[in-house]
């Protein structure tokens, strides 16, 4: 039996708390379903940055290349390291170097969880472009510190990048309820988003079984609040998807339930799995963080590794715990109690 080699990067803050919880659950799932997860832990974090001047070693990407998947807790400790340094030193280079262009974020209510909306029958899969667009990093500043200062941040949309994320979205829609909403803003952004719409129509022609809507980002935020049950798969650019997935987290009951996968679909590089919530320094190490988003992200990792049955069992265990009222409201249960309830449901 060849073990799955997993690089663990707990990172900062509650990233450490929830990674420990997720790994415990995943290891139990592995032994129950007869496979092995061989984990290697890397202490890359803001603490590492303060000690060494780098978030990860110079050969960090090369080191990660040898793994089947990467599991990441959270990155950021803004009191000592600016987020613009820590994120660009660890999380973002991994997404880009490994061409993890599809950021997948599921938004639905777990049993027992009441979100802020009256609607409860929604099941949305947000596919966020993860390597280019508004977060390409192209730009610069001139005349810094003067009254003539200029900052430019150029969004880059390539045919290759736009086409592949839409194609990925259509594949997901085909495997689900066969509806795709392409998030645009072509009424105002007449170059990039008009192009995005054109590519949407072109790719849609290859998927006649999938119905397509195009919706402007502003209307989309209203839709997600007023009628989320009408949505199935959403495909959005990097910035739009970033914003919509925090909204998605909110309607599913909060960031403690928001899981994500950064996928390199051709599997030429390892993919990375991480909860959406971030490092939450104020509650770090206090047995407060909800590990459900982290465990759910772990289930997505198992699925990606071909362990579909184990992934399904972990999801069922999460649902078993929340169905009994465990972890469904902030403060109702600690990290340890929620993890124990998931483990019990898995046993
Ligand atoms: C997320 C986060 C990151 C992003 C930040 C921390 C750079 O907000 O994963 O959604 O924008 O991608
Ligand atoms: Mn975000």
Give the pLDDT mean for 133-155: 97
Name which of 242, 211, 189, 228 is nearest 200 in CA terms: 211
Of ligand 1's listed atoms, the one at least distance from the Cα of 130 is 12
* pLDDT number for residue 331: 86
Q: Which residues contact 150 (CB under 8 A, 6 or more apart)?
A: 141, 142, 143
Of ligand 1's listed atoms, the one at least distance from the Cα of 276 is 9
Give the pLDDT confidence of 90-103 residue by residue, as tens digits: 999 999 999 999 99
In a domain, 143, yes or no: no
In a domain, 107, yes or no: no
Between CA 267 and CA 306 the distance in angstroms is 12
323 CB neighbour count, 10 Å cutoff? 15
* Bridge-based pairing state of the strands 102-108 and 259-263: antiparallel
* pLDDT number for residue 84: 93
- In terms of domains, do 265 and 339 share one? yes
Indicate which residue's Cα is closest to atom 8 of ligand 1: 242
Collect residues with CB below 5 Å from ion ligand 2: 242
Give the pLDDT confidence of 121-137 residue by residue, as tens digits: 999 999 999 999 999 99
68 catalytic per annotation = no
Q: Which domain holds residue 242?
A: 116-130+156-251
Question: H or E segment at 238?
Answer: helix 238-251
In the numeric block, the tokens 């990860």 are attached to 56
Q: Last residue of a domain, which of 251, 267, 300?
A: 251
- In terms of domains, do 121 and 245 share one? yes
Indicate which residue's Cα is closest to atom 7 of ligand 1: 87
Q: Last residue of a domain, which of 191, 222, 251?
A: 251
Please report which confidence band the pLDDT of residue 292 belongs to, taking 50, 70 and 90 as the band edges: very high
- Ligand 1 lining (C-beta closer than 6 Å): 87, 242, 276
Between CA 145 and CA 157 the distance in angstroms is 30
Beta-bridge mates of residue 6: 39, 69
* pLDDT number for residue 120: 78
49 catalytic per annotation = no
Please report which confidence band the pLDDT of residue 1 belongs to, taking 50, 70 and 90 as the band edges: confident
In a domain, 197, yes or no: yes
**Active site residue: 5, 178, 246, 324, which one?**
246
- In terms of domains, do 282 and 343 share one? yes
Give the pLDDT mean for 323-330: 95
In a domain, 144, yes or no: no
Total residue count of the chain as it appears in this document: 347
Q: Last residue of a domain, which of 251, 274, 302?
A: 251
- In terms of domains, do 196 and 317 share one? no
C-alpha dihedral (204, 159, 249, 224), degrees to nearest 10: -40
Q: What is the CATH number of the domain that holds 190?
A: 3.40.50
Question: H or E segment at 6?
Answer: strand 4-11
Structure tokens at 45: 């974090």
Q: What are phi and psi of 338, to 5 degrees?
A: -70, -45
Give the pLDDT mean for 53-71: 98
Please report which confidence band the pLDDT of residue 119 belongs to, taking 50, 70 and 90 as the band edges: confident
Give the pLDDT confidence of 172-216 residue by residue, as tens digits: 999 999 999 999 999 999 999 999 999 999 999 999 999 999 999
Between CA 37 and CA 41 the distance in angstroms is 12
Ligand 1 centroid to residue 99 C-alpha, Å: 16
Q: What is the CATH number of the domain that holds 288?
A: 3.40.718.10
Number of domains in the chain: 2
- In terms of domains, do 92 and 16 share one? yes
Of 12, 74, 242, which is best to mutate to test ligand 1, by the most ligand atoms within 8 angstroms of its C-beta? 242
* pLDDT number for residue 122: 97
Between CA 130 and CA 126 the distance in angstroms is 12
* pLDDT number for residue 10: 98
- In terms of domains, do 247 and 260 share one? no
């Amino acid at each position: 039996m060849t073990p799955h080699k997993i690089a663990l990067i707990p990172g900062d803050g509650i990233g450490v708390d929830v990674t420990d919880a997720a790994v415990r659950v995943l290891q139990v799932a592995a032994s129950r379903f007869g496979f092995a997860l061989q984990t290697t832990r890397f202490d890359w974090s803001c603490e590492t940055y303060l000690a060494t001047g780098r978030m990860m070693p110079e050969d960090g990407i090369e080191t990660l290349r040898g793994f089947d998947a990467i599991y990441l807790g959270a990155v950021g400790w803004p009191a000592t390291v600016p987020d613009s340094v820590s994120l660009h030193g660890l999380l973002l280079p991994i997404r880009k170097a490994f061409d993890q262009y599809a950021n997948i974020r599921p938004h639905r209510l777990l049993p027992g969880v009441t979100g802020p909306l009256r609607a409860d029958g929604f099941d949305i899969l947000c596919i966020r472009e993860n390597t280019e667009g508004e977060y390409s990093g192209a730009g610069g500043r001139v005349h810094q510190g003067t009254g003539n200062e200029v900052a430019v941040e150029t969004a880059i949309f390539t045919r290759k990048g736009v086409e592949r994320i839409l194609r990925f979205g259509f594949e997901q829609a085909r495997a689900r309820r066969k509806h795709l909403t392409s998030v645009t803003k072509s009424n105002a952004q007449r170059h990039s988003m008009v192009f995005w719409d054109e590519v949407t129509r072109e790719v849609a022609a290859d998927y006649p079984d999938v119905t397509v809507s195009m919706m402007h980002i502003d209307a989309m935020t209203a839709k997600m609040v007023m009628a989320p049950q009408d949505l199935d798969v959403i495909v959005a650019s990097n910035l739009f998807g970033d914003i919509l997935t925090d909204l998605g987290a909110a309607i599913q009951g909060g960031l403690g339930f928001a899981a994500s996968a950064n996928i390199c679909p051709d599997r030429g590089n390892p993919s990375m799995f991480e909860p959406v919530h971030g490092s939450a320094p104020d509650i770090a190490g206090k047995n407060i963080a909800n590990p459900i988003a982290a465990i759910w992200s772990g289930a997505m990792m198992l699925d990606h590794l071909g362990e579909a049955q184990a992934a399904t069992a972990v999801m069922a265990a999460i649902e078993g715990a929340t169905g009994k009222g465990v972890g469904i409201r902030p403060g109702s249960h600690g990290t340890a109690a929620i993890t124990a309830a998931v483990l019990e449901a898995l046993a």
